[in-house]
Amino acid sequence: MANNQDIIDEQPATIRAGANSTDVGANPEKIEEKSSFEDDASKTSKPKKGAVNVAPGGDDNLFGGGKTYRTLGLWDTILVLATNQVGLGILTLPAILKTLGLVPGFIAIVGLGVVSWYTAYELLQFYRAHPQVVNMVDMARVVGGRPLELIFGVGLLFKVMMTCGSATVTLSIAFNTLSNHSACTVAFAAVAAVCCWVLCLPRTFKSVAQAGLPCTISIIVAVFIVIISLGVAGHPRGEVHGFDKDCVIVGNPSFREGVSACLKVCYAYAGNVGFVSYMAEMKHPSRDFPKALTILQVCSVLLYILTAVTIYCLSGQAVRSPALGSAPDVPAKVAYAIALPAILSTGMVFGHTAIKYLYVVVLRATNTTHRATENSWRSWGLWAGSASIFWVAAFVLASAIPIFDSILSISSATFVAWFTFGISGVFWYHRNWQEKFARRNIPLAIVNALLILQALFMNGVGMWASVMGLLDVYNTPGKIEGSFTCADNSIF
C-alpha cells in the first residue's frame, strides 16, 4: 500500500504545487478537497507537459484553461449510480425466478447484491490509496504497469460496448413492440444507436446526473404498469384468464440453465465499471461515495426483489425477458414507451464512460491533454469522432447478438466477471500483499480469493452456458435464425 509521501508524489504537478505537505501528508482526503477548492485560482495556469495522468473528470487543475470537472455532490452521485445500475438488468430478473424458483432466486438476488456492494467498496479503498486514478484502467496500471493497463483498456471498451449493445437490443425490442414490428429489427437497432450517440455528445457527467432521476423513475413506473396490468387482466401476454401459473418455490434447472440464470443476476449489478470515473468527478469521494453506494445497493436489492417476485408470481411460466413484454399487449406498449428514457440513459451513461476513455487515450498519445476542456472544433471533433466509432461498433454487436437474454449472459460471462467481481479481489491483494496472512486479514483474504475464482468460473463455464443458449435459439425453427436479422426479437 502506498505511503503518504507516495500519494503526494503521484499527484499531478499542478496539485502538488498548491498542496503543502504538512497539510496533506497525514490525510490523503485533504488532497482531493484541496484540488476542488483551488479550481478558481488555478484555472489560468497551464500544467506542465507530461504531468497529466488522468482523464477529463479527474482533478480540476489538470487541463489548463478548462472548467472544473469535479461537479458531483452526494445526491448527484446517487442519481448517477441509480441511472448506471437500475436499468436493463432489472428486466430479466422475473425470468430467472422461472428457472431457479422463488427461494433460490431470492437468495441469488440478495447475495450477489451484498457481494457487489463489497467489491464496489473495495474500489473506493484502492482509490483512497491512489487518488490520482480516474478509472479502472488507471488502477490496473498501478497494479501491473503498462501491460495490464493495455489489457484492461481493451477490456473496458468491450465491457461497456456489450452493455451499450444490450441497450441497443432492448431499444429494438421496444420499437418492435410499439410498432407491431413495422420495420426490420436491424433498422430499429440503427435508430437506437443514433439516439444514444446524440445523448453522449455532452462532455460532462453533470448532464447524466440531471437525467438520473427522471430515467430511474421511468423504469420503475414501467415495471409497476406491468405489475398492475397483470393483476387487473389476470394473465400475461399470449395467455387467457385462468391459465395455470405454476409458480415454483424451488426450481429444477439443468446445470447450464442455472449458470445462465445467475449470470443474468450478476448483470443487474454490473455498474462497478463506471464507479471509479464517478469518484473522480465527485467533490468529496471518500466522504460521500460510501453513503451513495449503500443507498444505491439497499434500494436496488429491494426494487429487484419486488419486481422479480411480483411479476413472476403474476405471470408464472409465461413470464418473458425483458419483463415488460409479460404484460398484455396494450399495457406492454405503454410500459415500453415509458421505459424508453431509462433504456436510453443506460446507453448514455455507459457510452459516455467509454467515449471519455477513448478521448483521453488520443489526447495522451498526442500530448495535448491540456486541450481536453477547450470549446474548440478540434476537441469537439475528437469527442464526436470517438462517440461515432464507439456507437457504430455497439450497433454491429447488437445486430450480431439480437437476443436480450443472450447478450446479457455473454456480457456477464466475459467482462462483468472481472470488472464487477474479480478485479476487486486483485486490488485487495495488491493493497494488502505484505499483510495478506495477518490474522485480521485472513477472512478477507479468503473472500477476495473466492471473488477471483468466481470471475474465472464465469469466464469458463459461464461463457459455455451463454453460447450454448444462444445457439439453441438460432437452431430452433420459428425463432431468430441468425445475426443481422429482420425477424421480430420482441417475441422471446
Q: 142: part of which helix (H) or strand (E)?
A: helix 136-179
CATH code, domain carrying 350: 1.10.4160.10
- Is residue 164 one of the residues assigned to a domain? yes
**pLDDT one-digit tens code per residue, 346-370:** 888 788 878 988 898 899 888 888 7
Structural domain for 270, as ranges: 74-403
Which residues are registered as beta bridge partners of 72?
282
Of 61-75, 91-105, 119-133, 240-254, least confident by mean pLDDT is 61-75
Residue 33 pLDDT more than 60?
Answer: no
Residue 476 pLDDT more than 80?
Answer: no
On average, the pLDDT of the chain sits at 81
pLDDT at 69: 61
For residues 152-171, give the mean pLDDT.
89
- Is residue 246 one of the residues assigned to a domain? yes
**pLDDT one-digit tens code per residue, 310-351:** 999 999 888 888 899 889 889 999 999 999 988 888 888 788
**Cell numbers describing residue 343:** 433504456
- Is residue 45 one of the residues assigned to a domain? no
pLDDT confidence tier of residue 489, bands split at 50, 70 and 90:
confident
Residues 6+ apart with CB under 8 A from 24: 4, 8, 30, 31, 34
**Cell numbers describing residue 434:** 505484505
**What's the DSSP call for residue 61?**
G
- Is residue 201 one of the residues assigned to a domain? yes
The domain total for the chain is: 1
Taking alpha carbons only, the member of 400, 363, 408 closest to residue 170 is: 408
- Is residue 178 one of the residues assigned to a domain? yes
- Is residue 457 one of the residues assigned to a domain? no
pLDDT confidence tier of residue 205, bands split at 50, 70 and 90:
low
Q: How many percent of the chain have pLDDT more than 70? A: 82
Residue 391 pLDDT more than 50?
Answer: yes
Taking alpha carbons only, the member of 130, 139, 54, 150 closest to residue 359 is: 54
pLDDT confidence tier of residue 428, bands split at 50, 70 and 90:
very high
pLDDT confidence tier of residue 405, bands split at 50, 70 and 90:
confident
Please, are residues 235 and 81 in contact by the beta-carbon 8 Å criterion?
Answer: no
**pLDDT one-digit tens code per residue, 106-141:** 999 999 999 999 999 999 999 999 998 888 888 999
Q: What gap in Å lies between CA 274 and CA 352, rounded to an integer?
A: 10
DSSP 3-state assignment of 423? helix
Residue 447 pLDDT more than 90?
Answer: yes
Please, are residues 226 and 311 in contact by the beta-carbon 8 Å criterion?
Answer: yes
- Is residue 142 one of the residues assigned to a domain? yes
For residues 40-44, give the mean pLDDT.
34
For 213, counting Cβ atoms within 10 Å of its Cβ (0-12 exposed, 13-18 middle, 19+ buried), the class is middle
- Is residue 424 one of the residues assigned to a domain? no
Residue 54 pLDDT more than 70?
Answer: no
Q: Can you give the pTM of this predicted structure?
A: 0.78
pLDDT at 64: 37
**Cell numbers describing residue 140:** 490496473
Backbone angles phi, psi at 282, to 5 degrees: -85, 150
Residues 6+ apart with CB under 8 A from 196: 164, 167, 168, 171, 344, 347, 348, 351, 391, 394
The residue type of 266 is C
For residues 182-205, give the mean pLDDT.
89
